[in-house]
């Protein structure tokens, strides 16, 4: 195997699957091939210093673990070591399982942990019980993965290709833990384009992914930066919830020579393993529409007790979708703009754009991001881009140090038609964004201009004030038999003593059953007189239940007023209006509401908590509305002609069948 082509190398390694067919499920191939590939690479990397490490291990056998580890790492000249004299080629054919696990146990802790998360021992036992282990070991022992032949970068590409093959062979794994590489490439390109001032030779930049999966975003960002700028040191950081994905990610980092301790295992929302750290670039594709009920207590506690000193100060979204929590988490890790700031690229579904009305957690989060001028652009992607869902998705680009021309503005890019059809679907993924379309999208973003597919808005264009519009309560009253029966069924009336109930009924029946009163005070005056005449005394709740049950709404009746003569609002007619942010609410009301309902008024007690002004402030980003193009319906004559043609064809088919 002398080829330098990483795709061919990956294909050659993946051909080991031929040995596994029949004894293993297709979705399990990767769980065997990935750890064996990693093992062989680590073996090849350590080969030049193996003898020195073994000698050092013998010499310092009695020393403390920490000192011994330090000395062995120095001898290995790598961030890991192995103290076993064994190798894949030297494992015995009589007890390969015992030898192999002994070999694995001799690795330093970071490397050994990766094999634990792969559940490698279970698969070794399964291979051994099927008499396949020695054959698989021999196949991997024959693969040349020495650094002299395959650089860390090249090995990273091989590993990436194997991860992709693993994901394709197991779509459920792909959907949960694997972001399609075209989406990764596009997002990374958008975040890192135009960053020459930061990506200078001999500089150090940090990249972080809070939902790292198998490490696709981290690998892609490293590759991108190395391609466009020589001599930049890239420090990759991540956290992942799924142990197996974490193991793959960590293995990929180990192969690339990254500090594997920067990849952490745990739930990012409830247990931030990078607390207090800040990063230059952040990339993420958190799970779409996944509820955060399991971590609700921890997240809510942080929101309530730490406020803006924690990660979730602006608000909390509904429990059914935690996407915006990941976004807030990333924002909390942005560098201070005076220290260069940070850029974020995050893939989200449509919900974070518009879910939740004014005052809701989602709206308050959008408000915070927009009013602090962090949202730089949002790109609408084609549908059918992901392995486990065909829904619409969007890339949000955030920057807390926007260039002057972008300040106070947000760019929306419609890239929904920028795709190519896949030759073969992978789960729900039927389309991909090819390189030409990726270039076109990045150019559209970089140009920051207006076109059919790129629109620029001031931040306030997405804000509004929700004012409450009240209309007066108008009731008519009648002591008809039907209304009296309804009144007697009311709970406050039923709670009265039997004698009092009979007195109430008698008082109502003394009123004119045919007369309809349109003025509440006039009716109450007569009703009170009849109650007094029968010496019936009622508590306030019962009296209110009495006249309410005898009433019905009537737009022609007089307005009901309180003791001060102020009109009472009718809760059934209550409505809200969204007034564009920056527009005077009273001017809007006079122009848009009063001509239609002259007796309406604004409830001035409903005010925004933050600015104290009338109306609750809300923010939403109606992405599709801004790119909607009206398609006029087809002419009726054309539709009629089509129907006639179809009818004629059906008749002909029936005639042919009957003939």
Compute φ and ψ for 205, nearest 5 degrees: -125, 150
d(CA 649, CA 373): 61
Confirm if 39 and 176 have CB atoms less than 8 A apart.
no
d(CA 358, CA 363): 6
Q: What is the pLDDT of residue 576?
A: 96
d(CA 556, CA 611): 39
- Mapped onto helix, strand or coil, the DSSP state of residue 398 is strand
- 224 versus 372: which is more confidently predicted? 372
Q: What is the pLDDT of residue 498?
A: 93
Neighbouring CB atoms inside 10 A of 603's CB total 15
Structure tokens at 312: 């979730």
Helix (H) or strand (E) holding 240: strand 233-240
| pTM recorded for the entire structure | 0.83
Q: What is the mean pLDDT of the chain?
A: 91
Instruction: Give the single-character DSSP code of 565.
Output: S
Q: What is the pLDDT of residue 633?
A: 86
Residue 397: which of 340, 442, 434 has the closest Cα? 442
Q: Which residues contact 648 (CB under 8 A, 6 or more apart)?
A: none
Q: pLDDT of 77-99, one tens digit each?
A: 888 899 999 999 999 888 999 99
Confidence of residue 181 (pLDDT cuts 50, 70, 90): confident
Residue 330: which of 291, 373, 285 has the closest Cα? 285
Q: What is the pLDDT of residue 68?
A: 84
Strand partners, 467: 577
Q: What is the pLDDT of residue 510?
A: 95
d(CA 326, CA 324): 5
Strand partners, 429: 426
Helix (H) or strand (E) holding 476: strand 475-477
Question: In percent, how much of the chain has pLDDT > 70?
Answer: 98
Helix (H) or strand (E) holding 347: strand 343-349
Please state the rounded mean pLDDT for residues 72-80.
88
- pLDDT of 5 > 80? The answer is no
With left for phi above 0 and alpha for psi between -120 and 50, is residue 340 left, alpha or beta?
left
> How many Cα atoms are found within 13 Å in the side-chain-facing hemisphere of 417?
5
Residue 151: which of 76, 237, 257, 232 has the closest Cα? 257
Please state the rounded mean pLDDT for residues 481-507.
95
- Sign of the torsion formed by the C-alpha atoms of 304, 308, 312 and 315: positive
Question: In percent, how much of the chain has pLDDT > 90?
Answer: 69
Q: pLDDT of 270-307, one tens digit each?
A: 999 999 999 999 999 998 888 899 999 999 999 999 99
Q: What is the pLDDT of residue 140?
A: 95
- pLDDT of 464 > 90? The answer is yes
d(CA 108, CA 80): 6
Q: What is the pLDDT of residue 196?
A: 85
Q: What is the pLDDT of residue 376?
A: 97
d(CA 116, CA 111): 9
- pLDDT of 2 > 70? The answer is no
Confirm if 269 and 292 have CB atoms less than 8 A apart.
yes
Min mean pLDDT across 271-285, 414-428, 512-526 is at 414-428
Q: What is the pLDDT of residue 411?
A: 98
d(CA 193, CA 445): 10
Please report, for residues 302, 466, 585, 586, 615, the alpha-carbon distance to residue 608 in angstroms, rounded to integers and kept in the order given: 24, 9, 13, 16, 6
- Mapped onto helix, strand or coil, the DSSP state of residue 349 is strand
Residue 414: which of 375, 352, 355, 456 has the closest Cα? 456
Residue 526: which of 457, 479, 558, 481 has the closest Cα? 479
* Domain boundaries defined on the chain: 1-169, 170-462+626-634, 475-553
Please state the rounded mean pLDDT for residues 156-185.
71
Please state the rounded mean pLDDT for residues 460-469.
97
Q: pLDDT of 338-352, one tens digit each?
A: 999 999 999 999 999
Please state the rounded mean pLDDT for residues 599-605.
96
Compute φ and ψ for 101, nearest 5 degrees: -70, -30
Neighbouring CB atoms inside 10 A of 505's CB total 16
Q: pLDDT of 130-157, one tens digit each?
A: 999 999 999 999 999 998 888 877 887 7
Q: pLDDT of 545-596, one tens digit each?
A: 999 999 999 999 999 999 899 999 999 999 999 999 989 999 999 999 999 9
Q: Which residues contact 416 (CB under 8 A, 6 or more apart)?
A: 380, 381, 382, 383, 392
Q: What is the pLDDT of residue 170?
A: 62
Please state the rounded mean pLDDT for residues 353-361.
94
Compute φ and ψ for 527, nearest 5 degrees: -60, -45
Q: What is the pLDDT of residue 178?
A: 66
- Mapped onto helix, strand or coil, the DSSP state of residue 186 is helix
Please report, for residues 475, 511, 522, 524, 533, the alpha-carbon distance to residue 529 in angstroms, rounded to integers and kept in the order given: 20, 10, 11, 8, 6
Strand partners, 32: none
In the chain, the largest separation of any two C-alpha atoms, in whole Å, equals 113
- Sign of the torsion formed by the C-alpha atoms of 591, 595, 601 and 602: negative
The class that CATH gives domain 170-462+626-634 is alpha beta
Strands 281-284 and 263-265, sheet pairing: unpaired
d(CA 374, CA 314): 14
């Amino acid at each position: 195997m002398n080829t330098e082509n990483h795709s061919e190398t990956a294909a050659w390694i993946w051909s080991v699957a031929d040995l596994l067919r029949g004894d293993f499920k297709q979705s399990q191939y990767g769980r065997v091939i990935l750890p064996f590939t990693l093992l062989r690479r680590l073996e090849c990397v350590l080969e030049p210093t193996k003898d020195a490490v073994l000698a050092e291990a013998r010499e310092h056998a009695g020393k403390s673990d920490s000192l011994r580890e330090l000395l062995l790492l120095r001898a290995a000249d790598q961030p890991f070591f192995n103290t076993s004299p064994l190798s894949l080629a030297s494992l015995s054919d009589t007890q390969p399982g015992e030898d192999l696990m002994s070999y694995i146990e001799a690795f330093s802790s970071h490397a050994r942990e990766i094999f634990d998360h792969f559940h490698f021992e279970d698969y070794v036992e399964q291979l051994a019980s099927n008499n396949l282990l020695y054959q698989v070991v021999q196949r991997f022992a024959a693969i040349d993965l020495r650094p002299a032949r395959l650089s860390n970068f090249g090995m990273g590409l091989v590993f990436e290709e194997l991860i992709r093959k693993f994901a394709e062979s197991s779509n459920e794994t792909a959907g949960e833990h694997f972001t399609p590489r075209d989406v990764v490439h596009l997002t990374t390109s958008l975040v890192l384009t135009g960053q020459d001032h930061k990506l200078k030779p001999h500089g150090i930049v940090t990249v972080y992914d809070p939902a790292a999966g198998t490490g696709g975003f981290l690998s892609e960002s490293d590759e991108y930066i190395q391609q466009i700028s020589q001599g930049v040191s890239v420090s990759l950081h991540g956290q992942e919830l799924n142990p197996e994905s974490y193991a793959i990610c960590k293995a990929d980092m180990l192969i690339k020579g990254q500090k594997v301790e920067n990849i952490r295992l745990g739930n990012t929302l409830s247990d931030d393993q990078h607390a207090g750290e800040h990063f230059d670039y952040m990339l993420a594709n958190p799970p779409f529409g996944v509820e955060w009920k399991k971590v609700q207590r921890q997240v809510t506690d942080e929101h309530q007790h730490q406020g803006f000193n924690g990660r979730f100060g602006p608000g909390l979204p509904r429990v059914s979708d935690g996407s915006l929590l990941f976004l807030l988490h990333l924002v909390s890790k942005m560098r201070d703009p005076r220290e260069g700031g940070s850029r974020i690229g995050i893939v989200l579904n449509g919900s974070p754009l518009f879910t939740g009305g004014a005052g809701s957690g989602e709206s308050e989060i959008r408000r915070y991001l927009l009013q602090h001028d962090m949202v730089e652009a949002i790109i609408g992607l084609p549908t059918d881009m992901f392995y486990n869902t065909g829904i619409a998705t969007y890339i949000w680009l955030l920057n807390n140090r926007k260039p002057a021309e972008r300040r106070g503005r947000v760019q929306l890019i419609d890239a929904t038609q920028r795709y190519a059809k896949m030759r073969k679907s992978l789960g729900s993924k039927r389309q991909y964004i090819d390189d030409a379309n990726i270039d076109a999208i990045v150019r559209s973003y970089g140009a920051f201009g207006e076109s059919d597919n790129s629109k620029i808005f001031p931040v306030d264009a997405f804000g509004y004030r929700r004012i409450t519009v009240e209309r007066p309560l108008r009731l008519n009253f009648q002591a008809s038999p039907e209304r009296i029966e309804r009144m007697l069924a009311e709970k406050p009336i039923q709670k009265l003593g039997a004698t009092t109930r009979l007195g109430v009924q008698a008082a109502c029946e003394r009123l004119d059953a045919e007369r309809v009163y349109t003025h509440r005070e006039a009716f109450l005056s007569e009703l009170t007189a009849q109650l007094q005449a029968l010496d019936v005394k009622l508590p306030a709740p019962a009296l209110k239940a009495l006249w309410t049950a005898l009433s019905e709404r009537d737009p022609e009746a007089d307005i009901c007023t309180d003791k001060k003569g102020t009109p009472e609002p009718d809760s059934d007619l209550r409505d809200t209006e969204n007034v564009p942010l920056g527009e005077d609410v009273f001017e809007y009301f006079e122009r848009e509401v009063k001509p239609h309902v002259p007796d309406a008024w604004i409830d001035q007690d409903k005010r925004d908590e933050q600015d104290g002004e009338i109306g609750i402030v809300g923010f939403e980003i109606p992405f599709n509305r801004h790119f909607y193009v009206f398609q006029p319906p087809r002419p009726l004559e054309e539709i009629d002609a089509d129907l006639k043609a179809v009818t004629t064809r059906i008749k002909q088919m029936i005639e042919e069948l009957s003939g």
